[in-house]
Structure formats: C-alpha cells, structure tokens
C-alpha cells in the first residue's frame, strides 16, 4: 500500500512539473530567465523610455511620486540657500527697507511650499520672486523648465502605459484546449479564438510555432527547436473579419509535425504549441500581439468545439461564450497515417487493377457446315 501511494505521489509530482515546464503561459507571458549577462545594467538606462514602460505599476508609481517630491524638495533647499545667503530669513533680523529675493520665505517649510507652487504653477500670490536677485530669477527659470520636462516625461509614461496595446491583447482569448478531429475530410488541429470587443483588429494574421527538443544527424541537441505551424481560417488567414469567434485549424498532412502522432501516443510527446495573433488596434492604430500555448495534455484527440453562434428571433447574431471552450466527442481516426491509408485504399478500389497473369487468346472461327 505504501509503495502504491509513493508511486502515485511521484507520478503526480512528475506530471505537475511537466505541466509547469512551458515557455509561454496561457495568458501569453514568457517563462524565460537570463543569466550571466555580461553587459552592464547601464544599457537599460540608455533606453530609459522603454525601461520605464516595461516596469510594473508599483515601481512606476514609486518613480512618479519620487520624481516630483524629489524635485520639489531639492529646489526647496536651493530656495532656502538663496534666502540664507541674501539674509532674508527672520533670524538675520532684516531691516524694514530690506527687499528679499523671495518674499515671505521664513524657513525650510516655506521654501518647500514656494518650490511646489513654482513647479506646478499654482500661483497663490503670497510668495513671489522680486527683481532684487539675479540668482533667484535664474533659479525660477531653471525650475520652471525642468518642471515642464518632468511633467511631460512622467505623464507621458503613465499615458503610454495605460494605452499600450498589451492591454488590448487581454480582450483576445483563446480556447482552453486544442482539439483534433476531421474537418472537410482532412484530419485537423483546431483552436478557437474570440475578440471580446466589438472594435476590430485590422490586418490580423494567425500563425504558430511548435517548440520541441530535437537531435540533429550530427548529434547536436537543440532545445526549443521551432517548427512553423500554418493555420487556416475559412475566410483566409490574412485580413480576418474578426467580429465573432473564429475556429482556426492546422491541416495534419505529411508535412505536418503532428503526422506521426496518434491518439495513444500524443500524451507521451514532449512539445509546446505556441499560437500567435498579430493585428492593428482599430482605435489607436497600434500593433498588437496575443500569445498562448498548448502542451500535449491540452490537446484533445477526437473532439470538436460546440456551436457558439446562433441567430435570435430579432435577427441578431448571438455569441454564447458559455460554450466557448466546450468540446464534443466525435468519431475520429486514431492517427493521420490511418486516415490517408484509408483514402488511398478506397481510391484504388474505385480505379481497379489489371491482372498481369491474364492472357487473351484469339480463336479462329471455322465452319463445319457442308453444302
């Protein structure tokens, strides 16, 4: 009993680890790690715009808040130094006729408030720069210019982060499983994809990559070898009218990597099918890519997708997403090789064959009738 439970537990752990070993997750994130990168981290600061856009929201907001608070406090110190050098602070007991560089700066707190008011152009009118100090005028100009640059960069980064086409990709969904069944008399691998928005993706293109480990004739082991998988839609795989869910399919012929797989052996295969959908967002004209992947456990042999589109009494077309990933068992050959052999056999039966052992002998006709 103990040995049986141990085997079941070991098998469960092995199966679980195998399911996790995938390059692309179901939501399109890439599971890859870079190690021993010789280039310095400084190269990421050269392309600071892309670095900021790729940051997570918590880090981006930290930089956003720190940039403003840091600049306000830094210029607040500079304004305090100007007031201190010019002896405008109350501890210097300035005379009644004394004209300060900045009026109503009494300490570090008021200097910080004046820095904030200057950079964000609040303009309360209580603290203001006088013409007494050229240094204060130069500092005012410099902070105003720098404040505009910080506002433009940080607000632009926030807007670009919100409007990235990556967020549009989250409203494109693929079916949980891929299925293999007959379609149009051919054995096909089918996947369903849907656009959850009514706005279209312009110029959409669907293709796939089969990732597997291969060994070359020279003995070299190639991990994550990529094999092109061509997908077809009834309307064509270019410029799709992607207003309703589509079923894309890959024909399993002799050139397909799935040709030598069978219903009994597909679970023993080690591969990952990555499906890509590229298109242009109609609202923003930005390019968008959606990715998902399927491992052998997520490929169902002998199933097809349940109907999802129907027509209402009012004449409208209704999409029932409850059946989006629902599958129905259908009669399917257990391998592509058997299907094509069956077709060839039927074709030969229709054509017929000549018997090479058959010899036609001609008999001369003689008349035995006598007159």
Quick one: pLDDT at residue 112?
94
Q: State the DSSP code for 242.
A: T
Residue 3 CA to residue 12 CA, distance in Å, equals 14
Q: What is the 3-state secondary structure (H, E, C) of 188-234?
A: EEEEEEEECCCCCEEEEEEEEEEEEEEECCCCCEEEEEEEEECCECC
Would you say how long the chain is, in residues?
371
Q: Report domain 168-350's class.
A: mainly beta
Largest distance between two CA atoms of the chain: 168
How far is residue 84's CA from residue 36's CA, in Å, rounded to a whole number? 51
Residue with tokens 């960069």: 153
- The predicted pLDDT at position 23 comes to 83
Question: Is residue 320 within 8 Å of 308, Cβ to Cβ?
Answer: yes
Closest to 147 measured CA to CA, from 159, 136, 137, 139: 139
Same fold, 51-163 and 168-350: no
| End-to-end Cα spacing for the chain | 105
DSSP letter (8 states) at residue 93: -
Chain centroid offset of residue 319 CA: 24
DSSP letter assigned to residue 301: E
The dihedrals phi and psi of 275, each to the nearest 5 degrees, come to -110, 135
Instruction: Note whether 280 and 288 are within 8 A (CB).
Output: yes
Nearest to 329 by CA among 177, 174, 184: 177
Q: Are 290 and 28 in contact (CB under 8 A)?
A: yes
Angle (CA) 27-167-174 rounded to 5° is 35
Architecture, CATH, for domain 51-163: Orthogonal Bundle (1.10)
d(CA 238, CA 256) in angstroms, rounded, equals: 21
At residue 370, the pLDDT reads 45
Per residue in 90-99, pLDDT (tens digit) is 888 888 888 8
**What Å distances lie between residue 14 and 31, 222, 263, 293, CA to CA?**
19, 23, 21, 20
**Phi and psi at residue 320, in whole multiples of 5°?**
-100, 100
Low-confidence ranges of the chain (pLDDT < 70): 1-21, 36-41, 165, 234-239, 340-371
Give Cβ neighbours of residue 39 (< 8 Å, ≥ 6 apart).
none
Q: In b/e form, how buried is each residue of 6-18, taking b as 16+ CB within 10 angstroms? A: eeeeeeeeeeeee
∠ at Cα 81 (79, 86), nearest 5°?
A: 100
Domain positions in the chain are 51-163, 168-350
pLDDT at 121 (0 to 100):
86
């Amino acid at each position: 009993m103990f040995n049986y439970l141990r085997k079941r537990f070991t098998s469960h752990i092995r199966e679980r680890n195998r399911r996790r070993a995938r390059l692309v997750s179901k939501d399109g994130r890439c599971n890859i790690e870079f190690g021993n990168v010789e280039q310095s981290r400084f190269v990421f600061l050269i392309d600071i715009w892309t670095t900021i856009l790729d940051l997570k929201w918590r880090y981006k907001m930290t930089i956003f808040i720190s940039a403003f608070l840091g600049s306000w406090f830094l210029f607040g110190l500079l304004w305090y130094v100007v007031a201190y050098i010019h002896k405008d602070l109350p501890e210097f007991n300035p005379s009644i006729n004394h004209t300060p560089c900045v009026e109503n700066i009494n300490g570090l707190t008021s200097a910080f408030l004046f820095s904030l008011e200057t950079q964000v152009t609040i303009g309360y009118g209580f603290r203001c720069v006088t013409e007494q100090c050229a240094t204060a005028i130069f500092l005012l100009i410099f902070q105003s210019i720098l404040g505009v640059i910080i506002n433009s960069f940080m607000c632009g980064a926030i807007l670009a982060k919100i409007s990235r086409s990556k967020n549009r990709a989250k409203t494109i969904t693929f079916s949980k499983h891929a299925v293999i069944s007959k379609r149009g008399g051919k054995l096909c691998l089918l996947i369903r994809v849907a656009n959850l928005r009514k706005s279209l993706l312009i110029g959409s293109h669907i293709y796939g990559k089969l990732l597997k480990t291969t060994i070359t004739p020279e003995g070299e082991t190639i991990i994550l070898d990529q094999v092109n998988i061509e997908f077809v839609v009834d309307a064509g795989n270019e410029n799709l009218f992607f207003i309703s869910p589509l079923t894309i399919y890959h024909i399993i012929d002799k050139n397909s990597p799935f040709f030598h797989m069978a219903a009994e052996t597909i679970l023993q295969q080690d591969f990952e099918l990555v499906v890509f959908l590229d298109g242009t967002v109609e609202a923003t004209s930005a390019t968008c890519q959606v990715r998902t992947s399927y491992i052998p456990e997520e490929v169902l042999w002998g199933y097809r997708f349940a109907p999802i589109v129907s027509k209402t009494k009012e004449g409208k077309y209704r999409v029932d997403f409850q059946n989006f990933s629902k599958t129905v068992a259908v009669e399917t050959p257990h391998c592509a090789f058997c299907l094509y052999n069956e077709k060839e056999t039927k074709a030969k039966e229709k054509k017929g064959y000549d018997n090479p052992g058959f010899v036609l002998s001609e008999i001369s006709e003689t008349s035995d009738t006598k007159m």
